[in-house]
Amino acid sequence: MTALAPTLQAFFTERLIHQRQASPHTLTAYRDTMRLLLVFASAKKGVEPSKLDIGDLDAPLIGAFLDHLEKQRQNSARTRNARLAAIGSLFRYAALRHPEHAAVIERVLAIPRKRFDRKLVTFLIEPELDALLRAPNRSTWTGHRCRCCSCISGRCCWARQSIAS
- pLDDT string in tens for the chain (165-residue length): 688 999 999 999 999 999 999 999 999 999 999 999 999 999 999 999 999 999 999 999 999 999 999 999 999 999 999 999 999 999 999 999 999 999 999 999 999 999 877 777 667 777 877 787 788 888 888 887 888 877 777 666 555 455 444
- Residue 38's pLDDT is what? 97
pLDDT score recorded for residue 142: 86
| pTM to 2 decimal places | 0.71
User: DSSP string of 71-107?
Assistant: HTS---HHHHHHHHHHHHHHHHHHHHH-GGGHHHHHH
In whole angstroms, what is the distance from residue 47 CA to residue 39 CA? 10
Closest CA to 99 of 30, 1, 8, 3: 3
Q: For the chain, which residues make up each domain, given as ranges?
A: 4-109, 126-164
Query: How many whole angstroms separate alpha carbon 149 and alpha carbon 23?
Result: 34
Q: Which pLDDT value is given to residue 157?
A: 57
- In this prediction, residue 134 carries a pLDDT of 80
Pick the CATH number of 4-109 from 1.10.150, 2.60.40, 1.25.40, 3.10.150: 1.10.150
